[in-house]
Structure 1
Amino acid sequence: MSETDVFERLGLTEYERTALTELLSLGRTTAPTLAEAAGIPKARVYGVLDSLADEGYVKVIPGRPKHYQPHPPEEILDRAEENRRQDYEAFVGDIEAERESFLAEFGPRFERAGEDITAAEELFYVVDVGEPSERETRRIYHEADERVRVLTKAFEYFETVEPAVADAVDRGIDLRALLLHPDTLDPENRERQRDVVDHLRAAYPEVGIRYSTNALPWRGTLADPSMAYDTGEAILLVQEDDVPNYMRQAAITENGAFVAGLNRYFDLVWEYESDAPAALD
């Protein structure tokens, strides 16, 4: 992550980023000196410095003139984390304060609006492929109680879900991944798959991995299936290599019977139509 990315994550304006960057190079200085060094209008520099001080990134040293000194970089990042934590706690408090009245107002409206929804309409909802689908996939990992099953070509999106995978492994979730056989992949995807599998086997040996010897008609992640059809959730999409991701959507279902069917398919392929990576080394 670059310096610019960090400052953007801190929520700093352009002038604030410029001022803090220059302060970290100059050390203790006055506002006019900083304004000249950083190219910030003198009429703006005091407001910029006051804002940085309010966030806890800069300390103000009284005097005539006042001096400004940046906190050490590590303290700046620690303060940024604390600021975000406090903002989050305040947000949660505000939401909880309004929860009862919000539910009383909109709960009945939602129930009335949903009275005519058919079972077929309740089977799926969709999200765009990319960050929305990856966010939902991470949520499924985090909310799983017992098991997670993954069907994927090369697990090429693994980096974006790895923290959620690590969380699931730490919680003792039974996690298995079924990938396409490397012989069916082009060289680029084969190499990408190999890197992911090597990393999984080294960092998460608890994760089961096998290669499907046949094509997989759908890709996705499912969690907590039940043959009683009363639990389970899945996100899936059909394989369409000729359709770019920005034009694709993933389906999400909480229908227990459907998730159980997806899991049955996974189990059959895992048991009868797949090889372990070790057999291919």
Structure 2
Amino acid sequence: MKASRDIPNDLLESLKSLGLTKYEALVYIGLLRVAGATATEIHEISGVPRASVYPVLDRLAQKELVSVSHTTPKRFDAIPPARGIENLMRRIEMDAENALVALDAFYQEKDAEGRGNQELIWTIYGEENIKTRLGDMFRSAERSVEMLVAWNLLQGSVLSLLESVPDSVQVDIVTDNWKGERPSRFRVRVHPLGAHYETHAPPGKGLRYESSGVFLVDDARALVWMGSAGEQPSALYSESAGLVQFVRRYLTSVTEWVGPAGQ
């Protein structure tokens, strides 16, 4: 038997992306072409150096891509592709979950040490990135979540994120509209916040940032979301006293103007 030279390079690259080395990919593909083979035959089939064959087979067995007979000499067989890829994907998912837990531990340890008196304000671009930060804010809430937000943004992007807010946390929402039943756990104030502007705006010109919102969590973390139709949204996020105090005063003035919840 001769080593195969007709394996597409893109196939090798795909297997590499699933966690296989080049030698592992060559051995696995070679075994798929025969009904069991010895280490010597695998060397000839795959073109992998003889000294590397056994270490490669051991790793493929650990990855559940190869089965081993109990004969002398040992013979090796490839797990069928559908099951083999499923096994690789399961390992990738497990590795990803483990990495996420470990990385999140580092992330949660992050604090303001070494920042001195800097008032850091972060700019976030893109809806998914903003939603990720907002979701983190909601999940970490301990006392309160407050927001002044346009209904189309609330309905389209924010309501689903609010499901992660702990049950013990009070959620206050001021919005310009509400369609459907109001969740009993939220205190909702509905007021046509943009109506006055739109009434007196020049013909054909509406509210500039019609998909926008201001969010405050625990009087400690603030996010200002600015969005307009046809444009990529952006946001400002900060835990600095300056922006948090500004948002606190702004929300207080608006809620006092709008009146009690339920109006």
- For Structure 1 versus Structure 2, the TM-score category normalised by the shorter chain is 0.5 to 0.7
Please tell me whether residue 236 in structure 1 is matched to residue 224 in structure 2.
yes
Structure 2 CA distance, aligned partners of 1:131 and 1:236? 15
Pick aligned residue for 2:123 from 118, 123, 126: 126
Q: Compute the TM-score of the two structures, normalised by the length of structure 2.
A: 0.54
State the percentage of identical aligned residues.
14
Give TM-score scaled by structure 1 length.
0.52
**2:32 match:** 34
Equivalent position SS for 1:208: strand
Q: Which residue of 2 aligns with 1:185?
A: none
Aligned equivalent of 1:14: 14
**Residue 252, structure 1, aligned to residue 231, structure 2:** no
CA offsets 1:157-177 (integer angstroms, 9 cap, x no match): 437x73x5223144x111133
2:96 to 84, 87, 98: 84
Taking a change above 3 Å as real, the CA distance of residues 224 and 71 of structure 1, as seen in their structure-2 partners, is same
Correspondence 1:88-237 to 2 at 5 A: 88=100, 110-111=115-116, 122=119, 124-153=121-150, 154=152, 155-158=154-157, 162=160, 164-170=161-167, 172-181=168-177, 194=179, 201=182, 205-215=184-194, 219-225=213-219, 232-237=220-225
CA RMSD of aligned residues (A): 4.7
Structure 1: any 5+ residue segments left out of the alignment?
Answer: 1-11, 21-29, 183-193, 226-231, 277-281
How far did residue 244 of structure 1 move? 0.8
Q: Structure 1 residues 174 and 123, CA, compared in 2 at 3 Å: closer, same or farther?
A: same
Is this contact kept in 2: 1:150–1:178, CA < 8 A?
Answer: yes
Alpha-carbon distance in structure 2 between the residues aligned to 1:17 and 1:176: 46
What is the aligned length?
201
Deviation of residue 258 (structure 1)? Answer: 1.6
In structure 1, distance between residues paired with 2:120 and 2:136: 19
Structure 2 gap ranges (5+) = 1-11, 21-27, 35-44, 196-208
Structure number with the higher helix fraction is: 1
2:76 is the counterpart of 1:66? yes
C-alpha separation between the residues in 1 aligned to 2:120 and 2:58? 54
